Structure 1
Amino acid sequence: MQKFDVLIVGAGMVGLTLALALRKNSQLNIAIADTLPVSAVSEEPEIRVSAINIASKHIFENLAVWSDITTSRHQAYQHMHVWDKSGLGKLDFSVDDIDCIGTNDQDQQLGWIIENSIIRNALWKKAELDDGITFFTGSKLANLAQGESEVFASFENNAQPIMANYVVGADGANSWVRKQMDMAMIFKDYDHHAIVATVKCPQGHKNTAWQVFLPTGPLAFLPLDAKHQEQDLCSIVYSTSPDEAKRLTALNSVDFAKELTAASDGKLGAIELMSDRATYPLTMRLVQESVKERVILIGDAAHTIHPLAGQGVNLGLLDAAALAQTFEQATAQALEQQALLAFARWRKSEASEMIAAMAGIKEAFTPQQSAVKFIRGLGMNLINNVPFVKKQLISQALGLKEGLPKLTKRAG
């Protein structure tokens, strides 16, 4: 029976990042279990994208995968325009508004929009080259059993079982590991479904992330494809009520595009739908305890948040960097349970803070009474004209704050 130091269940962006981070400064022997194969990067942009902030960029740089990611499609943005469809409020953020990014020209961005498949491909290929990482992709896991000093993992189809000192569940919002270990979770239905797709915007995205708050929820246009000369492609994330999502996805492509043009006040021109549409429900999840003896949850397995600020993936990558740091700081003999519990408190605090912020923003834009809309617009415009407040908001979104894992710091 093969034995490993750490078994990571889930080879998505967060699980693969953890594997590479664990190997960066240690000789730990890592197993990764996932039956979802990595797919080749398609000619056309994938509809699922992530907004990567500076902290996450530094993680990828320190793991030597950022250059591989950016040789494919990616789009930096230097501006963000937010407005209230029902009121007069607006916010304009620019990389020029802040002086805390640093002197590195490559960091002079508010963020990068990158397709999920591109990030996963780069991480997977890097992990495949590491002799200390072993992939198990041929059979699904069937059972986990904790012993005194290890966890036993068995596979379906009579595949050879393995042992690991620790198991990490990085297997997404519907985590098999979380269910297998009966780890309690609190959750709340956001009463929103997200529609994602790729669209063409004739007036160009102008290296800007656009977001309009509609009466039924936020609609974001995220700039895509830096190699596209016209720079007129965007990925949309349209969060709206379940009934409205059903109505919108039932429309033909022309009528759907007309709805997007009207919703965005024509600021990006007459929009054209360029891809299929995908829809998924949005739910807030937060595991009560992300550590149970020798099993640890990270990423969406431990928490999911509303996508309106695009911070879900960044939060998961911070989990991976923090857990790798916890292992690195452990004694040579063993990783003490106290250190894992400290990690769990650290990450739960970060996740809770983000969940509360997302809930506050969502609730602030829900009421449609005239008085509320007036106050909301007044507040947005006030923030827009107070540089100090804008700097604080941008710094938080970029991951520029104290107490982050060391992998988020720029190398050199």
Structure 2
Amino acid sequence: MVVLRGLYVSSVGLDFGLHVSQFRGMISPSPEKSEIVIVGAGLAGYAAAVALAGTGANITMLDRAPEGLGAAGHSDPRTTALSPSSFKMLSCLDVLSACQDAPTPIAAMKITEAETVLRWPGGSLDFGDAESDDVLAYMVRNHDLHAAFAKVSKDIPNISMRKGQAVTDIEQTPNGMRLAVNNTEIICDLVVACDGRQSLIRNFLGTRIIKRDYRRAALVADFSHSLPHDNIALQIFRADGPLACLPLGKNLSGEYVSSLVWVEKTKTAESLYALSPERFSHALSEQLDGALGDIEISDRPHCFPLALMLAENYTAPHAVLLGDAAHVIHPLAGQGYNLTLRDAATLAEHVFEAKILGLKVCDMSVTEGYQLNRRADAFAMAGLTDGLNTMFGSSFLPLSWLRHAGLALVNHALPNQAKAAAQIYADRGTSPPPRLLRGHRLNG
């Protein structure tokens, strides 16, 4: 069992705290109505909207970005490694076909340690086979994925996008959730909070959160290199944090390109961030020790602080939390957005089944089913990634030796089991999974 250590709980309220100050001065005799309101138009919000559209529900999306800003307002330099089930989901929703660049398959993954006490051969772990047709994951750029979601959603008649709209207050009523949105009101059966790790909706609901500051930051950038990546992902575990190089095919000049996620102590990361692209390329070359040949990064990397955050509850009456509003985990396994897509697929599944029975989208079967499934999955994945980060980040001599020996043993004695374990790890969730994660559309 993996134990999450060093966690603390915070909250803006111990109860389902409903703020009514806005409504006392602006009660409208005829507020707008919608079955589902999705707050947030990032990757989580769009995943929820496009997934839920198949249920036939009337959906309103609220985007704080003003009209005309478009996808540029959600520019995200990061990349996402889609698990096979996430790939099936986004394929059947026509999102991946709308991406500017086709997803890059990851055929295999090599996991190793940067420094080991005993450098005897075999101290690495290989998942998958670069020569086979099996795929461990698919790489997509976040900004490309966001633009594809926006394009697809425009053609879905039961999705209404409201730009420049921010929720300023919420109130639970017998008829549903009443939202104060700018100078108007919307009443809905279900609010889906997709407004990120600093979620205002979560705060309005008074949902407590479990936090852990990793005191680390991730440096993210695309870089070109002279040696081919062969669609193999490289993950190097280091004392201060992992370093991952994820294949992204080739650029327009024909150079091999990979996505970098380099975790360091916060101060070290900030120092690296301040380097010129040339000096940063040199620092990265030292870390990779020639594994990808000559390295070149054309732009300064982006720097993101790392923390673990889990909401204690994922639902409240007429409301659910989805994506980073519900969970933020360590990026070492690249599973954050896959968790979000499982959130969206699970919610859509429960809403779809409720509507077939003539029930409302806020029925207890929806909220309770979602809470049971998604909380368990997120807490399990958080525990797994947190435990791996702790184990591989330790420089304790016996543990380092055991780690190294274990990697060699698993790699050479149990290759098939290791590959199977990688697939299970990438696609953990309910059994059987929701229809969307099996590549089947909902027909609401």
Task: Please give the TM-score of this superposition, normalised by the length of structure 2.
Answer: 0.84
Aligned CA RMSD, in angstroms, stands at 2.2
Q: Does the 8 Å contact 1:73/1:225 carry over to 2?
A: no
Query: 1:342: which partner in 2?
Result: 369
Paired AA for residue 291 in structure 1: T
Q: Are 1:75 and 2:109 matched, yes or no?
A: no
Q: 1:131-170, aligned counterparts within 5 Å?
A: 131-156=157-182, 158=183, 160-170=184-194
CA deviation after TM superposition for structure 1 residue 217, in Å: 0.7
Q: Does the 8 Å contact 2:250/2:256 carry over to 1?
A: no
Secondary structure at 1:20 match in 2: helix
Paired AA for residue 151 in structure 1: M
- Which of 237, 246, 251 is equivalent to 2:275? 251
Q: 1:127-276, aligned counterparts within 5 Å?
A: 127-156=153-182, 158=183, 160-226=184-250, 228=252, 230-276=254-300
Secondary structure at 1:119 match in 2: helix
| Runs of 4 or more above 6 Å deviation | none
Query: 2:20: which partner in 1?
Result: none
Change (3 A) 1:400 1:182: closer
Paired AA for residue 146 in structure 1: Q
Q: Are 1:291 and 2:336 matched, yes or no?
A: no
Secondary structure at 1:217 match in 2: coil
Q: Does the 8 Å contact 2:251/2:257 carry over to 1?
A: no
Q: Percent identity?
A: 28
Secondary structure at 2:71 match in 1: coil
CA deviation after TM superposition for structure 1 residue 115, in Å: 0.8
Query: 2:405: which partner in 1?
Result: 378
Q: Deviations over 1:226-246 (max 9, x none)?
A: 564735111111111112112
Change (3 A) 1:380 1:228: farther
Paired AA for residue 391 in structure 1: K
Q: Within 2, Cα distance between the matches of 1:133 and 1:150?
A: 19
Q: Within 2, Cα distance between the matches of 1:96 and 1:404?
A: 27
Q: Does the 8 Å contact 1:7/1:30 carry over to 2?
A: yes
Q: Would you say how many aligned residue pairs link Structure 1 and Structure 2?
A: 398
Q: Within 2, Cα distance between the matches of 1:145 and 1:207?
A: 50
Secondary structure at 2:226 match in 1: coil
Q: Deviations over 1:62-102 (max 9, x none)?
A: 21222112x5253222121111011242111124699xxxx
Change (3 A) 1:141 1:288: same
Secondary structure at 1:209 match in 2: strand
CA deviation after TM superposition for structure 1 residue 381, in Å: 1.1
Paired AA for residue 57 in structure 2: L
Q: Within 1, Cα distance between the matches of 2:87 and 2:238?
A: 31
Query: 1:387: which partner in 2?
Result: 415
Secondary structure at 2:111 match in 1: strand
Q: Within 2, Cα distance between the matches of 1:117 and 1:358?
A: 25
Q: Does the 8 Å contact 1:204/1:230 carry over to 2?
A: no
Change (3 A) 1:14 1:41: closer
Paired AA for residue 81 in structure 1: K
Task: Please give the TM-score of this superposition, normalised by the length of structure 1.
Answer: 0.91
Q: Within 2, Cα distance between the matches of 1:309 and 1:218?
A: 10
Stretch deviating more after TM superposition (163-172 or 244-253)? 244-253
Q: 1:321-340, aligned counterparts within 5 Å?
A: 321-330=345-354, 331-334=357-360, 335-340=362-367
Q: Does the 8 Å contact 1:83/1:213 carry over to 2?
A: yes
Query: 1:84: which partner in 2?
Result: 113
Paired AA for residue 185 in structure 1: I
- Which of 34, 57, 62 is equivalent to 1:28? 57
Q: Within 2, Cα distance between the matches of 1:227 and 1:214?
A: 29
Query: 2:135: which partner in 1?
Result: 109
Query: 1:359: which partner in 2?
Result: 386
Q: Which 5+ residue runs of structure 1 have no aligned equivalent?
A: 99-104
Q: Are 1:396 and 2:424 matched, yes or no?
A: yes
Q: 1:300-315, aligned counterparts within 5 Å?
A: 300-315=324-339
Q: Does the 8 Å contact 1:41/1:117 carry over to 2?
A: no
Q: Within 2, Cα distance between the matches of 1:230 and 1:382?
A: 38
Q: Which 5+ residue runs of structure 2 have no aligned equivalent?
A: 1-30
Q: Within 2, Cα distance between the matches of 1:58 and 1:74?
A: 12
CA deviation after TM superposition for structure 1 residue 352, in Å: 0.8
- Which of 414, 427, 434 is equivalent to 1:405? 434
CA deviation after TM superposition for structure 1 residue 280, in Å: 1.4
Q: Within 1, Cα distance between the matches of 2:243 and 2:209?
A: 29
Secondary structure at 2:262 match in 1: strand
Q: Deviations over 1:16-58 (max 9, x none)?
A: 121122121x32110000123432699xx96311111111111
Q: Are 1:93 and 2:127 matched, yes or no?
A: yes
CA deviation after TM superposition for structure 1 residue 270, in Å: 2.4
Q: Does the 8 Å contact 2:219/2:269 carry over to 1?
A: yes
